[in-house]
Structure 1
Amino acid sequence: METRVFGEPVERREDERLLTGRGRYLDDLGRDALAAAFVRSPHAHARIADIDVSGALDVDGLVAIHTWEDLPGRVGEPLPLLIPHPALTHGRTGYPLARDVVRHVGEPVAMVVARDRYLAEDAAERVRVEYEPLPPVVGIEAATRAEHLVHDDVPGNVGAVLVQENGDAAAAIDAAPHVLEFSLAIERSASTPLEGRGVYARWDADDGSLRVYSSTQASTSVRAAIAARLGLPNGKVEVVAPDVGGGFGVKIVHPWPEEVLVPWAARLLDRELKWTEDRREHFVSAAHERGQLQDVRVGFDDAGRVLGLDVRIRHDHGAYTPYGIIIPIVTSTQLLGPYKIGAYRAEVVSLYTNTLIVTPYRGAGRPQGVFCMERTMDRVARHLGLDRADVRAANLIQPDEFPYDQGLTFQDGRPLIYDSGDYPELLRKARELIGWDGFDAERAAAASRGRRIGIGLGVYVEGTGVGPYEGGHVEIDTAGRVHVSTGLTSQGQGHETVFAQIAAAELGVPIGDVRVTTGDTRRFGYAVGTFASRAAVMSGNAIALACRKVRGKALRIAGEALEADPGDLDITGGVVHVRGDPSASVPLRTVAVLSNPLRYAFDEEAAAATQFAAGRPVTEPPIASGDEPGLEGRDYYSPVRSTFAAGAHAAIVEVDPDTAEIAILRYAVVHDCGRLINPMVVEGQIHGGVAQGIGGALYERMAYDESGQLLNASFMDFLMPYATEIPRIETGHLETPSPLNPLGVKGAGEAGVIPVSAVIASAVEDAEGVRVDAMPLSPDTLYTLRERAANDPSLLVRDNVRIL
């Protein structure tokens, strides 16, 4: 394979189009379409007594109003439970429009269609819904008490109980020289992409086909869901993901109620129809993540080696479970990180609450797991008076122990086996990058000037490249252009650039000759989706395999034209040539012509493919048995199990002695995602992830009151960091190729966000000397911790007490 493009920091090809306003997002489409708006529940839990639409009927421009009773057949059935699991014994999903009972604020009750969005909203406001309020269940503790039920037929509000274990953790802990017990908490957050959800549908009555544009991370899955619900053949439904303004996991859910209702109504009305989510709708009707309580019991020896670990995880999955229990599964398995734990047990209890559903958000359960494990490592180190980095080093899996089997079952149903890595080197490089070993002097110098600074670190492993498969199609046309398509979608990751780099390297063509299409079922009909840091691993390898098919065919055809052995040929700059004799060559565009035997010459070059052309064999059929015309190939990549990327982060923070404000002075990342396709794209992913992680660590929490009302459902109240609060991120790379795929790559999309809360908690605790057991950590929370610690010495860390 030619490697001059693969591994190079090629500038992103999509940026100029997007930055100059030439992107096409969902709301740029369907300017003349009818508009949909939704009546949503103002109650967290209530019975629907009556829906009166009469007040909306006199709105000029009203086209239709629909409630659940209007939905025929499968359109009105509960939405699918996307990922069933044996432990999810009481999985529940909602209806596209609420039937009888609403279970969270924002649940859709009625759909209004009008000439434009303004009129649709006006009509929606005039729909009168009579509710009979029911007691809401808000928060994990309330769900655990189960004084009231979210679903009458779900005992104790428990959707699932899952136990993962390797060894006898209880016995190992009881026999350990040292034992600690403590509890941790991470509050709910939300991904808040710049572009919310949206759907635009067009029905073609002449041929009975439906075209749907959706701001989604899974266009092929949306197609399958719509076809099934509307009773249409897959081939009569096209779903296209246009430019998507961020996803971060919230757009992997499918189908959303609106993705069923808008296409259904478009067909019913035989009109174009569009719905675009507004910001408040996103906060109350899309999805949240993160919320967990964790009870930890750990046993360890004098050197800090963890002999046994037992974690009970209570997970808030909201009112419904459309995505199953993937998040707590990931938490319970990825919690172990890069460490070799003597014995481990995790019990997950997944609970219903009258709050918005919980589905993956960038990191998808890993930030919670890493927070638990890294807080545990810090606790062990503080208890023993050892260096926190040294305790981590004492527990790391060593390079010669790969593949390393953690003895658990990962989210793909496959064994949790790490494929490759060098975790000690990751930690060493991170310590060096942040200046860990010289920090005591820096701390003392700052303290002499009245400043409080602290240092923290975190190490993690991320399962990437989750199956079951992705595919790629590659075609070289008669102009020498390379057309690459794959079914998964793009939401800003740089797929257009990275996939072009793979194709250019595999085929030996200039990267400027490669065109990439993603997320369009018209071009590629089978795919899974973009999530779990899987695009480069899954589609990247599928594209590489398809390219290798095309390359092999090109060399064979060129060999016939050049009367040379294909093994003696190479491709450089889009030209096939004999090695050592550049004059003996043929352009790929000509090879593409020759790959399609012709009866008619449409231009001078095409004459070489007609029946009377010189050198055409006459004793064999023009197209060999098993071959196809054209210079194209299709292939799929389906891994036996996931690949596992890893990284180490470290940070230095400063805490204001008076206001408890936290400033991040430095942030360092060392990351291993196998072979780097494009270092610049990887660094961009890491930097964006770290910024998002800082938001989750310091600001981003979804605040519900006891009645289930979301108190901060706007950007006025839901806080995110300013760009000025994100430090320069110092990045280092380590490459340990994965042996599981042809390219040796691992994923990188979610890596930046995963350990940030743990790292900042470690650093703030180091600066303040008070225990940090919960995230996010706002100034008022930290100030309260200070006040509590002044009266309760157990809240102080052992070796670093500050004046409070």
Structure 2
Amino acid sequence: MSGRFFGTAITRVEDARLLTGKGHYVDDIELPDMLHAAFVRASFAHGRIRNIDTSDALAMPGVAAIYTMADFADIAQGSMPPMAPHPLLKTPITYHPLADAEVRHVGEAIAIVLADNRAHAEDAAAAVMLDVEYLPAVSDAVLAREASSPKVHSQHASNVIATMKASFGDCAGVFAKAHHVLTEHFDIHRGGCHAMECRGVVANIDLQTDALTISTSSQSPYMVRRHLATYLQRDENTIRVLTPDVGGGFGPKANVYAEEFAVAIAAIKSRRPVKWIEDRQEHFVATTQQRGQVWALDVAFDNDGRMRAIRGHCIHDNGAYAPYGLILPATALASFPGPYALDALDLSVDVVLTNLVPTSPVRGACRPNVAFLLERLADRIARHLNIDRQDVRRRSFVRADQMPYTTGMKARDGSPISYDSGDYVAALDLVLDKIEATSFEARRAEARKRGKLRGLGIASCVEDTGLGPFEGASVRVTPAGKVIIATGASSQGQGHRTAFAQIAADALGVELEDVTVETADTAKFPLGISTIASRIAVTAGSSVQLAAHKVRAKAITFASHQLEVGEHDLELEGGAVRVKGIPEMKVKLSEIARVLAGNTGMTLPGDMEPDLAATAYFNSNALTFAYGANACEVEVDPETGDISVVRYVVVHDCGKLINPLIVDGQIRGGVVHGIGNALFERMIYDEEGQPLTTTYGDYFLPMASEMPQIEVHHIETPSPRNPIGVKGAGEGGTIPAAACVISAVEDALGPKGPFIPLHPVSPQQVVQWLEAMPVE
């Protein structure tokens, strides 16, 4: 697909408003008589609440109310509905809106304080007195898996809440015949979200209708409505959920959170608007995290490096609850075998509770974990056989002539996973060419003269995108000739308004400035799923295309009657339907919209339905698979262990590009995220579950000074599985990045250095590795 706008690198229409301070975020909402909320949060990882004394706090200036879970009993009781039920979870392991009796991680909300401003609310929260019976805690998932470990939920006999398995082929047979077998253990450390905007909620109850309105910085406003309505036993029509501008989501804002429920119930109880804005310290202890996994893997391979089979086991740290069900570990399993055409696979994952913040998807949702495992194994095989790393990949990749390729794995709905299109070897060849791999040794030698160790890293990946079941969109032309798009897809900075406008403007022959996009308001569009899993370009973008073409067809039918010409002789351009070759013979879209809006006593031409509008839902019945190859160069200071990423090149295929400028921005942001995972971000807890990294003084994020110029090149292989030929791009930059950087660090340390099976890598570790290396 192509047109005037589709495929063009147009500056985002959102940017002018956002860059001039005209964005409207949750914290910008001010309502009459509004109360401000602060939560009393647990300072301990595990304990039983015996008493909550709010008397002193209630007497403090500005305090209007303090609620505990017991105070909510007249409205709702029990734990929250599971966001993603799974048959292996026989009973939901979800939060109460406020802790009921047992607290299971530092930061869990125990009570909500309402006051006339946030400062008074925080002061009062600090004055609430808790009588707690402290219970043993466990912060290490490996230890938590043991039968003798303290139980995160006292009523559960085990911390292992599920064991998930996936396999295909004759794994035992392949291993028995393999030329080589290697065993490796991998440790992928836990990290956080850290979007620019923390979470926030404003809830307001209409005193006349009792309708509830919630503004929340969420990726899943329709999920918030659905689950809150279930919990409160309300009809969904009595709850409106909308997301204003959202300053980044990255996955954790897709959760339905206890705070959203608590603020909503507090508004119902107090009969006043309530606002809560998460501060940065709360973010460290209350927003879901990710990546905590330990793997033991065997890989079978041939003498030429061709990977044949992988088997092994994972211990997955799920934190204290499972608000997102088992989607995260399930995604890890489904991400195998990546770009590799394995003969067999046999994996299991133990999902383990710990007394830590729960885990849920963070940009990539365990796909970066799996890419790290597979790419590290490829490098390990090359190291073992003393062959080039790229040869292992070329001999092991799914070939272009095998597409569509059925991997042997199953999707969430049980259907076979099948890659739709792509050429993984071509992507690797291009990225090696663009980073000038053939002349790398000269750059390594030059760096050595400066006292630096230079290394080249490579990594490839496959990403499932366009996750079902659907997103929808309506497209309407107003009597003023303007086009209004409404969709349930929320945006957190991806440029949805621009991309959707480009699609509709091409279909309807209008200018971008004539298109307005309204997103993520349950009062404006009836259904939506969530902005997750790089799915919106495929699902909502296709829905906009389908709806716009329905409107186009309707406009052409009307003009055919009006102009008395055949439909095949008509085209849309300049905001009008006109006769091909006779541009002055036309009827404007605004005129068509006015007629179809209806006039008393006047029939519509050709028995047409009213309104120049249409709604469409694209049902995504099969995943689309983006893929890519990365290469980077790092320099290591052997004196300090400091690692600098000095070059980074990405080759990526996300099908047809709606807007290359937006895609490049997504990929570059994703790479930065991945570099942070590889070298900086580490959420550390002590044995008692106390977080030790709760500020940016001790939890490090990459800054502009740590970033190289990131060079992006595209391959466009259209997907045959949606009408616009696109694949998702939101996470493709992150998925291979940690593997690529660690590959480069290992290469910099040289053949006598260690194989690196973990991330993030710290300067201290690098110095220790260098000191342990044999002296030449």
TM range (shorter): over 0.9
Q: CA 1:30–1:754 in 2, change beyond 3 Å: closer, same or farther? A: same
Match of 1:622 among 600, 604, 607: 604
Distance in 2 between residues matched to 1:283 and 1:76, nearest whole Å: 27
Once the two structures are TM-superposed, the CA of residue 643 in structure 1 deviates from its matched residue by: 0.9
Q: Match for residue 347 of structure 2?
A: 346
Q: Match for residue 21 of structure 1?
A: 21
Q: CA 1:778–1:412 in 2, change beyond 3 Å: closer, same or farther? A: farther
Structure 1 consecutive aligned stretches of length 4 or more whose deviation exceeds 4 Å: none
Q: Match for residue 85 of structure 1?
A: 86
Match of 1:164 among 166, 184, 188: 166
Distance in 2 between residues matched to 1:201 and 1:422, nearest whole Å: 49
Q: Match for residue 762 of structure 2?
A: 778
- 1:593 correspondence with 2:594: yes
Root mean square deviation, CA, Å: 1.5
Alignment of 1:6-17 (within 5 A): 6-17=6-17
Which amino acid in structure 2 is aligned with residue 230 of structure 1?
L
Q: CA 1:449–1:124 in 2, change beyond 3 Å: closer, same or farther? A: closer
Q: Match for residue 733 of structure 1?
A: 714
Distance in 1 between residues matched to 2:218 and 2:91, nearest whole Å: 27
Question: 1:421-440 CA distances to partner (integer Å, 9 max, x unpaired)?
Answer: 11111111111111122222
Q: Match for residue 625 of structure 2?
A: 644
Q: Match for residue 116 of structure 1?
A: 117
Q: Match for residue 358 of structure 1?
A: 359
Distance in 2 between residues matched to 1:313 and 1:412, nearest whole Å: 22
Distance in 2 between residues matched to 1:335 and 1:443, nearest whole Å: 34
Q: Residue 412 of structure 1 contacts residue 641 of structure 1 at CA under 8 Å; is this kept in 2?
A: no
Which amino acid in structure 2 is aligned with residue 83 of structure 1?
A
Question: 1:466-506 CA distances to partner (integer Å, 9 max, x unpaired)?
Answer: 01110000000111110001001010000010110011111
Using the size of structure 1 for normalisation, the TM-score is 0.94
Distance in 2 between residues matched to 1:136 and 1:289, nearest whole Å: 20
Q: Residue 30 of structure 1 contacts residue 272 of structure 1 at CA under 8 Å; is this kept in 2?
A: no
SS of the aligned residue for 2:76 comes to helix
Distance in 2 between residues matched to 1:624 and 1:131, nearest whole Å: 74
Distance in 2 between residues matched to 1:333 and 1:723, nearest whole Å: 34
- 1:40 correspondence with 2:41: yes
Q: Residue 292 of structure 1 contacts residue 313 of structure 1 at CA under 8 Å; is this kept in 2?
A: yes
Q: Residue 693 of structure 2 contacts residue 699 of structure 2 at CA under 8 Å; is this kept in 1?
A: yes
Q: Match for residue 268 of structure 2?
A: 267
Distance in 1 between residues matched to 2:106 and 2:10, nearest whole Å: 46
Which amino acid in structure 1 is aligned with residue 20 of structure 2?
T
Distance in 2 between residues matched to 1:61 and 1:344, nearest whole Å: 61
Distance in 1 between residues matched to 2:709 and 2:66, nearest whole Å: 52
Which amino acid in structure 2 is aligned with residue 547 of structure 1?
A
Q: Match for residue 106 of structure 2?
A: 105
- 1:681 correspondence with 2:662: yes
SS of the aligned residue for 1:645 comes to strand
Q: Residue 26 of structure 2 contacts residue 244 of structure 2 at CA under 8 Å; is this kept in 1?
A: yes
Question: 1:144-184 CA distances to partner (integer Å, 9 max, x unpaired)?
Answer: 23422112343431011011001122321222011100101
Question: 1:597-654 CA distances to partner (integer Å, 9 max, x unpaired)?
Answer: 313xxxxxxxxxx84xxxxxxxxx53666x4311000010111121111011110000
Alignment of 1:506-517 (within 5 A): 506-517=507-518
Q: Residue 319 of structure 1 contacts residue 356 of structure 1 at CA under 8 Å; is this kept in 2?
A: yes
Distance in 1 between residues matched to 2:550 and 2:430, nearest whole Å: 40
Distance in 2 between residues matched to 1:163 and 1:105, nearest whole Å: 31
Distance in 1 between residues matched to 2:605 and 2:136, nearest whole Å: 72
Equivalenced residue count is 771
Distance in 1 between residues matched to 2:671 and 2:584, nearest whole Å: 51
SS of the aligned residue for 1:647 comes to strand
Q: Match for residue 201 of structure 2?
A: 199
SS of the aligned residue for 1:711 comes to coil
Distance in 1 between residues matched to 2:345 and 2:651, nearest whole Å: 27
Q: Match for residue 615 of structure 1?
A: none
Question: 1:690-738 CA distances to partner (integer Å, 9 max, x unpaired)?
Answer: 1111111111110001110100111222111110111001110001111
Which amino acid in structure 1 is aligned with residue 758 of structure 2?
A
Distance in 2 between residues matched to 1:388 and 1:449, nearest whole Å: 27
Q: Match for residue 226 of structure 2?
A: 224
Q: Match for residue 746 of structure 2?
A: 765
Match of 1:247 among 246, 249, 252: 249
Once the two structures are TM-superposed, the CA of residue 91 in structure 1 deviates from its matched residue by: 4.8
Alignment of 1:65-80 (within 5 A): 65-72=66-73, 75-80=76-81
Q: CA 1:559–1:511 in 2, change beyond 3 Å: closer, same or farther? A: same
Q: Residue 415 of structure 1 contacts residue 641 of structure 1 at CA under 8 Å; is this kept in 2?
A: no
SS of the aligned residue for 2:252 comes to coil
Q: Match for residue 797 of structure 1?
A: none
Distance in 2 between residues matched to 1:781 and 1:685, nearest whole Å: 31
Q: Any unmatched runs of 5+ in structure 1?
A: 600-609, 612-620, 791-802
Which amino acid in structure 1 is aligned with residue 328 of structure 2?
I
Question: 1:480-537 CA distances to partner (integer Å, 9 max, x unpaired)?
Answer: 1100010010100000101100111111211111100111112112000101001111
Once the two structures are TM-superposed, the CA of residue 119 in structure 1 deviates from its matched residue by: 1.1
Distance in 1 between residues matched to 2:86 and 2:771, nearest whole Å: 45
Q: CA 1:73–1:413 in 2, change beyond 3 Å: closer, same or farther? A: farther
Which amino acid in structure 2 is aligned with residue 736 of structure 1?
T
Distance in 2 between residues matched to 1:743 and 1:587, nearest whole Å: 27
Q: Residue 315 of structure 1 contacts residue 348 of structure 1 at CA under 8 Å; is this kept in 2?
A: yes
Once the two structures are TM-superposed, the CA of residue 238 in structure 1 deviates from its matched residue by: 1.0
Which amino acid in structure 2 is aligned with residue 669 of structure 1?
V
Distance in 2 between residues matched to 1:273 and 1:348, nearest whole Å: 41
User: 280-289 or 64-73: which moved more?
Assistant: 64-73
Distance in 2 between residues matched to 1:157 and 1:74, nearest whole Å: 31
Q: Any unmatched runs of 5+ in structure 2?
A: none
SS of the aligned residue for 1:50 comes to strand
Once the two structures are TM-superposed, the CA of residue 31 in structure 1 deviates from its matched residue by: 5.4
Using the size of structure 2 for normalisation, the TM-score is 0.97
Q: Match for residue 750 of structure 1?
A: 731
Once the two structures are TM-superposed, the CA of residue 324 in structure 1 deviates from its matched residue by: 1.2
Distance in 2 between residues matched to 1:451 and 1:158, nearest whole Å: 46
SS of the aligned residue for 2:498 comes to helix
Once the two structures are TM-superposed, the CA of residue 210 in structure 1 deviates from its matched residue by: 1.4
Alignment of 1:471-550 (within 5 A): 471-550=472-551
Once the two structures are TM-superposed, the CA of residue 446 in structure 1 deviates from its matched residue by: 2.8
